Amino acid sequence: MVGAPDGYPGRRRLRGEGKGMSTGLIIAIVVVVVVLLAVLLLLGGRQQKKKEDERRRLAASGHREEAKGQAQLADRKEAEAGEVGEQARRRRESAEQAAEETRRQQQVAEQAAEEARRQQEVAEQASEEARRREARPGRERAIVGGFPSPRRRAGAQPAGRRAGPRPEPLEEGTGCPTKTRPALGAVTS
């Protein structure tokens, strides 16, 4: 192979090509490349971290807004619950007052019923007493003011009454005396 002193066919040596690169230069190039790659990786990591921080900040801002909205909603619901509770308390008080009024009315009704029962018993006792008196022979019946008086013997005055003129006979159906008396202080001729 002609023209190739290093043994490779078709290759020619150019000027200054005969010297090889030094090992120090290669190491320096490799170190610079490694440093550049490290710097690029660090810059890329920082940008990624900045983007991630921005996303977190936006998410935190959104969460804060959402929490604020939820707090406002909770405040509104608490106020509504307070109003509902107040209405329930007023209704309960009203119901208690109505129940108390009903109890009082029931007590009054029971007292009235008891009084009516007592009056009925008294009336029954009086009626029984009147029947027993009517059943006794030899007694006469006197009517004073439209109500039967206790039976008495003819001419006897009941205890505590003054002897005086007998009451005037009453007209039938009207219950008024048959004779009218002049008013007190009236002049009669």
**What is the DSSP code string of 38-95?**
HHHHHHHHHHHHHHHHHHHHHHHHHHHHHHHHHHHHHHHHHHHHHHHHHHHHHHHHHH
* Residue type at 15 in one-letter notation: R
The predicted structure's pLDDT at residue 145: 53
CA dihedral 156, 159, 163, 169 (to 10 degrees): -70
* 137 or 142: which leads in pLDDT: 137
The predicted structure's pLDDT at residue 18: 47
The predicted structure's pLDDT at residue 28: 94
Structure confidence by residue, pLDDT tens digits, 140-172:
555 545 555 555 545 555 555 555 566 666 666
Every domain of the chain and the residues it spans? 23-128
Structure confidence by residue, pLDDT tens digits, 36-60:
999 999 999 999 999 999 999 999 9
**What is the DSSP code string of 79-92?**
HHHHHHHHHHHHHH
| Average pLDDT score over the chain | 78
* Residue type at 73 in one-letter notation: L
**pTM, to two decimals:** 0.34
